[in-house]
């Protein structure tokens, strides 16, 4: 049974909270994981999935770091893992660029890397073994298709974008725009980042509702449910009815948005499965055993709205 001990390490510019299981058994696979942060319900469920799965596997010795949504902390944590001489490094890159140097350092140290949840842009091949996670472009396409099928051919869309430069933000936008480009009556008339957080989503939606275009907005497309939930609060405080005056479409599938859809305050969520810890350690074990692994492992996901959400479905959600 893993026992997580918390080890506080002072890094150059910030203190990283690194939790390490204290098994220390040399027969185990030492895995260093650098998480984005705890910015959303999705991320918290994702972290629980990683730690919970490591706890179940007596052959895994997990050192976990929370970068608090700062790229420099993620890079610092990866360098700490290299110094520690872990067997495998895994992380969810907060943005797509800026990791090439540290990935080269891991390669030079002979430590394989598994990308988890989000991808990176690198010029050199072979800097990571596998990317495990969702097809974000398809998630954006699914959101746009839902708008066309359920709102129709005319919509003025306000968009809450995820963390600028992050894989999910770039790809979800790409997928949404790929579909609406063939439907000229559907226009994105406001677009700004809410950084995947509820607080920022509320703040940006408040600014949209004070803008000259406020009364034209009839659809909100949020890159994650947390920003949508913040926006719902802003819409209500502005005296409008979320889910009716403004149709709410978002991505993740967290329990709170299911409850909002059941209450008629949101309309659609495109599932993005965070419970992928088992896939991570299956790949880690294969790499450690010298087996080949697929370059890409995709999550299986659905689209949910008032037609397939019941109280039983809400109660059965794991995140």
SS3 101: helix
The nearest distance, CB 119 to ligand GZL, in angstroms, is: 10
Nearer to ligand GZL by Cβ, of 111 and 196: the residue is 196
Q: Which of 2, 28, 35, 40 binds ligand GZL (CB under 6 A)?
A: 40
Q: Is 168 in the site for ligand GZL (CB under 6 A)?
A: yes
Draw the binding track, 144-163, toward ligand GZL (x: CB under 6 A; -: no contact). --------------------
Q: Is 118 in the site for ligand GZL (CB under 6 A)?
A: yes
Stretch that binds ligand GZL, among 1-9, 37-45, 148-156, 182-190 (CB under 6 A): 37-45
- Count of residues touching ligand GZL (by CB under 6 A): 15
Handedness of CA 144, 147, 150, 155 (dihedral sign): negative
Nearer to ligand GZL by Cβ, of 111 and 251: the residue is 251
Q: Is 196 in the site for ligand GZL (CB under 6 A)?
A: yes
The Cα 205–Cα 301 span in angstroms is 27
| Cβ atoms 162, 92 nearer than 8 A | no
**Other C-beta atoms lying within 10 Å of the C-beta of residue 86:** 23
Burial pattern 207-234, b for ≥16 Cβ within 10 A else e, equals ebbeeeeeeebbbbbbbbbbbbbbbbbb
| Cβ atoms 141, 178 nearer than 8 A | yes
Q: Is 47 in the site for ligand GZL (CB under 6 A)?
A: no
Structure tokens at 270: 């495109």
> In degrees rounded to 5, what are phi and psi of residue 247?
-75, 135
| Cβ atoms 192, 207 nearer than 8 A | yes
Nearer to ligand GZL by Cβ, of 42 and 221: the residue is 42
The nearest distance, CB 102 to ligand GZL, in angstroms, is: 19
Q: Which of 2, 29, 42, 62 binds ligand GZL (CB under 6 A)?
A: 42
> In degrees rounded to 5, what are phi and psi of residue 183?
-130, 80
Q: Which of 66, 117, 159, 271 binds ligand GZL (CB under 6 A)?
A: 117
User: Residue 269: which of 203, 218, 211, 314 has the closest Cα?
Assistant: 314
SS3 238: coil
Q: Is 134 in the site for ligand GZL (CB under 6 A)?
A: yes
Q: Is 90 in the site for ligand GZL (CB under 6 A)?
A: no
Segment 239 to 278, residues that bind ligand GZL, using CB under 6 A? 251-252, 272
Q: Which of 35, 47, 224, 279 binds ligand GZL (CB under 6 A)?
A: 224
Nearer to ligand GZL by Cβ, of 2 and 256: the residue is 256
Nearer to ligand GZL by Cβ, of 111 and 231: the residue is 231
Q: Is 51 in the site for ligand GZL (CB under 6 A)?
A: no
**Other C-beta atoms lying within 10 Å of the C-beta of residue 114:** 23
Nearer to ligand GZL by Cβ, of 39 and 66: the residue is 39
| Cβ atoms 55, 22 nearer than 8 A | no
Which residues of the shown chain bind ligand GZL in the complex (CB under 6 A)?
39-40, 42-43, 117-118, 133-134, 168, 196, 224, 226, 251-252, 272
């Amino acid at each position: 049974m893993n026992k997580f001990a918390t080890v506080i390490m002072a890094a150059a510019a910030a203190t990283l909270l690194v939790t390490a299981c204290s098994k220390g058994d040399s027969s185990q696979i030492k895995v260093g994981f650098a998480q984005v942060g705890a910015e959303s319900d999705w991320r918290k469920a994702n972290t629980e999935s990683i730690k919970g799965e490591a706890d179940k596997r007596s052959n895994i010795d997990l050192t976990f770091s929370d970068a608090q949504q700062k790229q420099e902390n993620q890079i610092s944590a990866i360098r700490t893992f290299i110094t520690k001489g872990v067997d495998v490094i895994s992380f969810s890159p907060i943005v797509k660029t800026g990791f090439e140097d540290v990935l080269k350092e891991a390669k030079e140290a002979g430590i394989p890397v598994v990308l988890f949840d989000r991808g990176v842009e690198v010029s050199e091949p072979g800097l990571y073994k596998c990317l495990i996670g969702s097809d974000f472009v398809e998630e954006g396409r699914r959101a746009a298709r839902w708008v066309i099928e359920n709102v129709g051919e005319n919509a003025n869309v306000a968009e809450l974008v995820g963390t600028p430069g992050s894989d999910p933000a770039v790809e979800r936008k790409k997928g949404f725009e790929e579909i609406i480009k063939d439907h000229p009556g559907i226009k994105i008339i406001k677009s700004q980042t809410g950084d995947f957080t509820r607080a920022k989503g509320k703040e940006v939606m408040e600014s949209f509702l004070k803008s000259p275009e406020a009364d034209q907005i009839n659809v909100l497309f949020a890159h994650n449910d947390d920003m949508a939930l913040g926006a719902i609060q802003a819409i209500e405080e502005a005296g409008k009815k979320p889910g009716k005056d403004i149709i709410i479409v978002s991505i993740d599938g967290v329990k709170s948005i299911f409850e909002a859809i059941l209450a008629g305050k949101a309309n659609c969520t495109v599932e993005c499965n965070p419970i992928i810890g088992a896939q991570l350690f299956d790949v880690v074990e294969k790499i450690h055993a010298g087996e080949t692994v697929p370059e890409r492992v995709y999550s299986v996901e659905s689209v949910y709205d008032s037609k397939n959400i019941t109280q039983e479905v809400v109660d059965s959600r794991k995140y």
